[in-house]
Structure 1
Amino acid sequence: MPQQLTFEATDRLIRTPDYRIQINEAGTGHPIIMIHGTGPGATGWSNFAPTMTGLSDRYRCIAVTMPGWGASSPQDLATGRDQGAAIVQLMDALGIERAAFVGNSMGGGVGMIMATKHPDRVSHLITMGSGVWGPAVVGPTGMSEGMQALFDAYEDPTPARFKRLVSVMCFDPSFATDELAAERAAAAAANPAHLRNWLDLMRAGRGADGFAEAGRLLPATRVPTLLVHGRDDRTVHFELSLRTLALVPRARLVLLNQCGHWAQLEHAETFNHLVHDFVSQN
Structure 2
Amino acid sequence: MDSGLRDEAARTRRIMAAGHETVYHEAGSGRPVVLLHGSGPGVSAWSNWSRTLPELARHHRVLAPDIAGFGRTSFQEDATYGIKLWVRHLFGFLDALAIPSAVLVGNSFGGGLALAATLRDPSRVDGLVLLGTPAGTFTMTEGLRAGWHYEPDLDEMRRILRLFPHDPDLVTDEMVRARYEASARPGAQDAYRKLIPEPAPGDTPIRGVPEERLRTIDRPTLVVHGREDGVIPVELGWRLAREIPSADLHVFGHCGHWVQLERHAAFTALVDDFAGRLS
C-alpha distance in 1, partners of 2:238/2:146? 24
Shift of 1:131: 3.1
Matching of residue 181 in structure 1 with residue 182 in structure 2: no
Matching of residue 128 in structure 1 with residue 124 in structure 2: no
Partner of 2:20: 19
Q: What do residues 47-88 of structure 1 show as CA deviations (whole Å, max 9, x unaligned)?
A: 001111211111111011101112212155742322111111
Q: What do residues 125-150 of structure 1 show as CA deviations (whole Å, max 9, x unaligned)?
A: 00111131322xx2xxxx31211222
The answer as to whether partners of 2:81 and 2:191 remain within 8 angstroms in 1 is no
Partner of 1:58: 59
C-alpha distance in 1, partners of 2:19/2:198? 23
The answer as to whether partners of 2:152 and 2:183 remain within 8 angstroms in 1 is yes
The answer as to whether partners of 2:134 and 2:208 remain within 8 angstroms in 1 is no
1:196-207 alignment, distance < 5 Å: 196-199=190-193, 202-203=196-197
Partner of 2:187, secondary structure, is: helix
Q: 1:108 aligns with which of 99, 111, 114?
A: 111
Stretches of structure 1 that go unaligned for 5 or more consecutive residues are: none
Q: 1:150 aligns with which of 141, 144, 147?
A: 147
Partner of 1:249: 245
C-alpha distance in 1, partners of 2:79/2:174? 35
The answer as to whether partners of 1:231 and 1:258 remain within 8 angstroms in 2 is yes
The answer as to whether partners of 2:137 and 2:208 remain within 8 angstroms in 1 is no
In the superposition, the TM-score normalised over structure 2's length comes to 0.89
Tell me how large the CA RMSD over aligned residues is. Answer: 2.3
Instruction: Look up the equivalent residue of 1:167 and give its one-letter code.
Output: R
Stretches of structure 2 that go unaligned for 5 or more consecutive residues are: 200-205
Instruction: Look up the equivalent residue of 1:182 and give its one-letter code.
Output: R
* Percent identity of equivalent pairs: 32
Give runs of ≥4 in structure 1 deviating > 4 Å.
75-78
Shift of 1:17: 4.2
C-alpha distance in 1, partners of 2:229/2:63? 25
The answer as to whether partners of 1:170 and 1:266 remain within 8 angstroms in 2 is yes
The answer as to whether partners of 1:54 and 1:269 remain within 8 angstroms in 2 is no
Instruction: Look up the equivalent residue of 2:126 and give its one-letter code.
Output: S
Q: 1:232 aligns with which of 228, 232, 236?
A: 228
Partner of 1:79: 80
The answer as to whether partners of 1:12 and 1:23 remain within 8 angstroms in 2 is yes
CA pair 75-246 structure 1, distance change in 2 beyond 3 A:
farther
Shift of 1:201: 5.7
The answer as to whether partners of 1:149 and 1:164 remain within 8 angstroms in 2 is no
In the superposition, the TM-score normalised over structure 1's length comes to 0.88
Q: How many pairs does the alignment contain?
A: 268
Instruction: Look up the equivalent residue of 1:259 and give its one-letter code.
Output: C
